[in-house]
Amino acid sequence: MTSNAESLRNRAFQAIRGQKPETVTVLSCLLAVEDELGYIPPEAAEEVARVTGSTINDVWGVASFYTNFQFQPPGRHRVEVCWGPTCHVKGVMPVIRQVMDILGIDGEGATEDGNVSLRFNTCLGACANGPVISVDHHLMGRITPDGARHVLEEIRNGIPSEDDGAS
Amino acid sequence: MADDRITITIDGVEVKARRGQTVLEAAIEAGIYIPYLCYHPGMEPFAACRMCVVEVENGRGFPASCTLPVAEGMEVRNNSSQVHELRRDVMELLIADHPHGCLTCHRVDLCGPQDVCLRHVSVNDRCVTCPKNERCELKDTVRYLGMEMESPLEYKYRDLPVETGDPFYDRDYNLCIVCGRCVRVCEEVRGDNAITFTERAGQALVGTSAGTSLLESGCEFCGACLDVCPVGALVESDHKWEKAQQVERTICSHCPVGCQLNLEVNRFEKVVRSVPEISSPANRGQGCFKGKFGLDFVNSKKRLKTPLIRRNGTLEKATWEEAFDYVAERLDEHQGDTFAMLSASDSTNEEHYLAQKFARVVMNSNNVDYTSNTQPDAVNAQREVLGFGAATNPIWDLENSDCILVFNANVTEEHNVVAVPIKRAIKEGAKLIVIDPREVELTRYADLWLRPKPGTELLLLNGLVKALLHQGLERREWLYENCSGLEPLREAMASLEIGEISEQTGIPQDTIDAAMRVYGPSEHSSIVYGIDNVPEELHKDCASALSALSLLTGNLGKPSSGIYPLKPGANSQGAWDVGCVPTHLPGTSPLEDTEARQRVEEEWSIQLPQAKGLGQQDMLRSGQVKALILIGGLDHPTADALQTLQALDFLVVQDSFLSAAAQRADVVLPRSSFAEKTGTYTNLERRIQSVRPVIAPKNSAAKPESWAICQLAQRMGAKGFEFSDTAAVMDEIARIAPIYGGVSHQRLENEGRLVFRPDVGNPLPTQVLYSDKEYHGIQWPCPTTESSGVEILFASGFGDAMPRIPIPDYRKIELAEDSAFPLLFTPGRVLLQSERKMTVIKGLSNRIEREEIIEVHRDDGQVLGLREGDMVELQTNGASLKGRLAFREGLQRGVVSSTQLFGQLMVEVEASQSPDPMSEIAGLNIAAARLVKVES
């Protein structure tokens, strides 16, 4: 077994052990792991199964039910684009296309170099400023395709994103 | 009884129902059809498909009848136009993403499989692309709802790749309607949880964790999910597209559980599918990898079709006439003790009976046995104590046991369906104690896993008996009334030192005590034992000790408290019952029993041979035997055994294939398989069931041994072999074997219960897809035609035959005496090892790449100069295994262990070129071994 897998398993186990609530369920364990690792690797699913006395297939059933859980390691930067009704009406679709073009991916997921991961979100809670994207949990409103290109270039160049990345 | 029944009406028809039943169950019992797709008998209702919605007078909405409990006076409407309309709407949603070209084609009734109908159909998903063509519950339900031609042509195709990489069956989730039957049967019934629901809402489907193959998800390849799948999503990969011409019920020939199987036969007399029978009392709709996917040997092209006679050193084709003449002539020279006869492990009762009658009457020899009689001492020991060498209770009684002790048995692989009620009991909170040096599937579920050093099993059982008495856990009052011998046992046990037992076996004293604190006080404890890995010398006393344990706790004569010996071979029980063993006569009377001898001699009009007979192992060891008739192959064709066969003066083999033994024969006779025979098997719970001919292969002269034996006997001038059919043989058995006194073929057939069968012209889908009759068989003892058999032995006490609690010997066997192989290898096999990485390399046949782990105790490792993580090779006499060394504290010193994955075995079986690979699966045998360090 590679040391990387061993360390993932360890971290997952520590996260499961470290849960504060008294009621430990498959779901609470998965949330703890997601918080710690940012995704659910197979090793973590096995740990959850072991600790909760269920099977890996049970754990998978729960984990795949909730869209919150990721199964691939997230990229170093996390870009979320809102495609909720408001942002949709306010024209987020060209932004999404632009983002996917620049990142070279087709839908949700991480780029090949592991630098950026893209997720779609159904509401980021800032409908008045739609269309909205979030970069590393930092919201940006009234985004345009050009604005999005600008933000992604900044990420690529390693410049921390500024408040007014929007147009 | 009458008070328990309540009355409801369904569409104005009065229906009697039991309290707690659902409306759907009551309707099914009353023969009223309510369509359903996710319900399946034997599983909890799920209410997912909404097909069984009904209306209830003064009720709100449209409840699903599968979850609606019956209530007195309830008025249910199953046929109103509103109900119909709702069901159609529901169905439209269901088929919105199920390919349904099969529904909309106007020629669908005219075409069969293999027919190509592109020119007749405007859509491109021809009905024949579905392997469940003509067997699909969804299609039948759509037709029942009267909406086939109205169905929209459009549907959303999921466009998922068909999963064909796993052994034995394919999964096409494009056809799945997510009814969840497969997930539920795997979890609820089998306790395996190898598949699960994935994702949710519109994307919800069935799958495995992270989409891994079934080989690594804990699948036991029992096929239960296939049997319940209402659509074509799950189907066998062999004969996938074949259409069944007829279906016949028979008994599986792979193990003594006695599963009733419905074998589907195509028009070329080939067995194309096997579906376990729901109404069968022994298997309750369940089967296993062997019964489901391991019956193709009956179709094999390699089967022997004509007799062969060795002429000038080679086997040449001959006629039956020539063969009989030759055999009769040669056998005449070997009358008496130099002759021996071995019946097959899967011979029917009638055939076992004829084999022993032939040996005793025609050849004047008691050297008669069956090939898989590997533990006669254990059978005899239990018989001496309890009077019967068979299971005392039905298999499914285990389901309600509170504590189950499994001693040295790889149940999941060798008697698979017995593991199903055990796992179900565990789920309901029963305690499981496993005593086995090997890691087998059930150890995963064990509350206590006692892992004695091989060879010390008997010491451990002594320790358990002592711990039971020492802690005062025996049922004294019950014992005073029912047994004798308690005080002598107590005295014998008093001299034992539990500390010494603990040291010898390697099991801590606390664990021994704890095991008895679990086993002793529980209300319903059962014992399941196999002893296949205990040294032969200890068989007798181990069985005695186990019988003592069940007597001491009063766990006999009541439901869910039995003792179950698991023997190898499909009809081992029957062989003992009809006297196909060297030591016993038909009816399980010992050879020395003068009364029984008289009865048999009178019926047969001969003098029985006096000399004691040889058992199957001694026949091949002693050198006394010069001529042998062997039916079926040897169970363990070791080099030594084959050498002995080679050296015989005269060897006749009747087998289906030219096995290693047959290749050494002077005469080879072609043998019918179980699927071509009429007769009976007796399963491990003493249930006598009918074996029926399913196929009649063309262009083959193969015959059942019952026919061959009778012909040969007559050729040799013997009287008493003029049977018109096997039913007449059973009649003779009934005359001289009191436990079979009331059994006849006619009775076994007539006592089947007719059940409601869907009308073929107006297909009413689901549930009773195959059964038109339920057969319960008869559990012996059944002395008269009035007797209906006995489910639980000693239910009304022991009568005059008060058992004496045996005192087991106290000894062990040193197994590792070979200095070249100083260690003992205890191989293990489990369904799931999710923590171990493996790669499945898919191809024509799969390959699994995985690093094996070889486990020893730290002390042994250090003595050998090995470190944890070293690459080592484990060598036994004839085999080797490479892997990484790990130290395990739980292992005994001197023992080396390695646990493989069941999936690896399945891959090997699938790739095997042998015509009958399932019957060749080697057990997990303990062997002498050594460890050698190798370069990684």
Residues in A closer than 8 angstroms to B198, CB to CB, are 60-61, 64
- Helix/strand/coil percent split, chain B, to 5: 30, 20, 50
Alpha helices, DSSP H only, in B332-456? 349-357, 376-386, 411-414, 416-427
Tell which residue, B427, B414, B429, has the closest CA to residue B192. B427
Shared domain check, B179 and B91: no
For residue B832, give the CATH number of its domain. 2.40.40.20
pLDDT at position B117 over 60: no
pLDDT profile of chain A (167 residues), mean per 10: 76 88 88 91 90 90 88 87 91 92 88 87 88 90 92 77 42
At position B189, the amino acid (one-letter code) is: V
Shared domain check, B366 and B381: no
Residues in A closer than 8 angstroms to B220, CB to CB, are none
Last residue of a domain, one of A65, A97, A112: A65
At position A48, the amino acid (one-letter code) is: V
For residue B227, give the CATH number of its domain. 2.20.25.90
Shared domain check, A131 and A81: yes
Contact B834 A56 (CB under 8 A): yes
B784 within domain boundaries: no
Shared domain check, B715 and B592: yes
Residues in A closer than 8 angstroms to B869, CB to CB, are none
Residue B442 phi, psi (nearest 5) = -70, -20
A167 within domain boundaries: no
Last residue of a domain, one of A15, A44, A65: A65
For B520, the 3-state DSSP assignment is coil
Helix (H) or strand (E) holding B435: strand B431-435
Q: Please tell me which residue of chain A has the smallest CA distance to B852.
A: A1
Query: What is the predicted pLDDT for the residue at B592?
Result: 93
pLDDT at position B824 over 80: yes
B324 pLDDT band (50/70/90 cuts)? very high
ipTM of the complex: 0.79
Shared domain check, A57 and A116: no
Measured between its terminal Cα atoms, the distance across chain A in Å is 49
Q: Please tell me which residue of chain B has the smallest CA distance to A41.
A: B210
Distance CA A125, CA B748 (A): 73
**Which residue among A42, A45, A55 places its CB closest to the CB of B193?**
A55
Shared domain check, A84 and A58: no
Shared domain check, A96 and A55: no
Higher pLDDT, B639 or B763: B639
B785 within domain boundaries: no
Mean pLDDT of chain B: 90
Size of interface A-B (CB pairs under 8 A): 47
Shared domain check, A88 and A23: no
B1 pLDDT band (50/70/90 cuts)? very low
Residues in A closer than 8 angstroms to B173, CB to CB, are none
A163 within domain boundaries: no
Residues in B closer than 8 angstroms to A1, CB to CB, are 837
B195: closest CA of chain A, how far (Å): 6
The distance between the two most distant Cα atoms of chain A, rounded to a whole number of Å, is: 52
Interacting residues of B666 by C-beta distance below 8 A, sequence separation 6+: B309, B310, B330, B650, B651, B652
A166 within domain boundaries: no
pLDDT at position B829 over 70: yes
Last residue of a domain, one of B110, B144, B178: B144
Tokens representing B690?
Answer: 């009918």
Of the residues A6, A52, A57, the best mutation for testing chain B's interface (the one with the most B CB atoms within 10 Å of its CB) is: A57
Residues B60-69 have a mean pLDDT of: 94
Shared domain check, B511 and B473: yes
A58: closest CA of chain B, how far (Å): 6
Shared domain check, A102 and A54: no
Shared domain check, A110 and A87: yes
Shared domain check, B271 and B316: no
Query: What is the predicted pLDDT for the residue at B3?
Result: 61
B906 within domain boundaries: yes
Shared domain check, A104 and A144: yes
Distance CA B693, CA B706 (A): 14
Tokens representing B598?
Answer: 């008289």
> What confidence tens digit (pLDDT) does each residue in B241-260 have?
887 888 899 999 999 999 99
Shared domain check, B332 and B293: no
For residue A124, give the CATH number of its domain. 3.40.30.10
**How many structural domains compose chain A?**
2
3-state secondary structure labels for all residues of B236-288: ECCCCCCCCCEEEEEECCCCCCCCEEEEEECCCCCEEEEEECCCCCCCCCCCC
B47-79 per-residue burial string, b: 16 or more CB within 10 A, e: under 16: bbbbbbbbbbeeeeebbbbbebebeeebebbbe
Q: Please tell me which residue of chain B has the smallest CA distance to A9.
A: B835
Last residue of a domain, one of B503, B535, B565: B565
Interacting residues of B199 by C-beta distance below 8 A, sequence separation 6+: A64, A65, B205
**How many structural domains compose chain B?**
5
Tokens representing A156?
Answer: 């690529």
A43 within domain boundaries: yes
A128 within domain boundaries: yes
Shared domain check, B385 and B370: no
Last residue of a domain, one of B565, B596, B626: B565
Residues of A with CB under 8 A from a CB of B: 1, 5, 42, 45-46, 49-50, 54-61, 64-66, 71
A17 within domain boundaries: yes
Per the omega criterion (within 30 degrees of 0), is the bond before B781 cis? yes
> What confidence tens digit (pLDDT) does each residue in B799-821 have?
888 999 999 999 998 886 778 89
Last residue of a domain, one of A45, A65, A85: A65
Query: What is the predicted pLDDT for the residue at B119?
Result: 43
Query: What is the predicted pLDDT for the residue at A162?
Result: 46
Query: What is the predicted pLDDT for the residue at A88?
Result: 92
Query: What is the predicted pLDDT for the residue at B112?
Result: 55
Q: Please tell me which residue of chain B has the smallest CA distance to A57.
A: B209
Shared domain check, B177 and B136: no
Residues B415-431 have a mean pLDDT of: 96
Query: What is the predicted pLDDT for the residue at B109?
Result: 58
For residue A17, give the CATH number of its domain. 1.10.10
User: Quick check: B898 and B825 in contact, CB under 8 A?
Assistant: yes
DSSP B188: I
B431 pLDDT band (50/70/90 cuts)? very high
Shared domain check, A98 and A48: no
User: Quick check: B909 and B918 in contact, CB under 8 A?
Assistant: yes
Query: What is the predicted pLDDT for the residue at B763?
Result: 47
> What confidence tens digit (pLDDT) does each residue in B544-577 have?
999 999 999 999 999 999 999 999 999 999 999 9
Shared domain check, A107 and A37: no
Shared domain check, A84 and A30: no
Query: What is the predicted pLDDT for the residue at B164?
Result: 86
Residues B280-297 have a mean pLDDT of: 94
Of the residues A10, A50, A64, the best mutation for testing chain B's interface (the one with the most B CB atoms within 10 Å of its CB) is: A64
Residues of B with CB under 8 A from a CB of A: 193-200, 207-210, 217-218, 832, 834-835, 837
A121 within domain boundaries: yes
Contact B198 A42 (CB under 8 A): no
Contact A61 B197 (CB under 8 A): yes
Per the omega criterion (within 30 degrees of 0), is the bond before B582 cis? no
Shared domain check, B607 and B751: yes
Residues B252-280 have a mean pLDDT of: 93
What range does the domain containing A114 cover? 77-156
Shared domain check, B391 and B516: yes
**Which residue among A5, A57, A66 places its CB closest to the CB of B209?**
A57
Shared domain check, B641 and B748: yes
B131 pLDDT band (50/70/90 cuts)? confident
For B689, the 3-state DSSP assignment is strand
Query: What is the predicted pLDDT for the residue at B715?
Result: 95
B807 within domain boundaries: no
How many residues can be counted in chain A?
Answer: 167
> What confidence tens digit (pLDDT) does each residue in B342-393 have?
999 999 999 999 999 999 999 999 999 999 999 999 999 999 999 999 999 9
A35 within domain boundaries: yes
Shared domain check, B537 and B472: yes
Shared domain check, A125 and A81: yes
What range does the domain containing B394 cover? 377-565
Query: What is the predicted pLDDT for the residue at B122?
Result: 37
pLDDT at position B121 over 50: no
For residue B130, give the CATH number of its domain. 3.10.20.740
Query: What is the predicted pLDDT for the residue at B142?
Result: 87
> What confidence tens digit (pLDDT) does each residue in B581-621 have?
999 999 999 999 999 999 999 999 999 999 889 999 899 88
Tell which residue, B615, B61, B654, B565, has the closest CA to residue B320. B654
A159: closest CA of chain B, how far (Å): 36
Q: pLDDT over 90 for what percent of chain B? A: 75
Residues B726-753 have a mean pLDDT of: 94
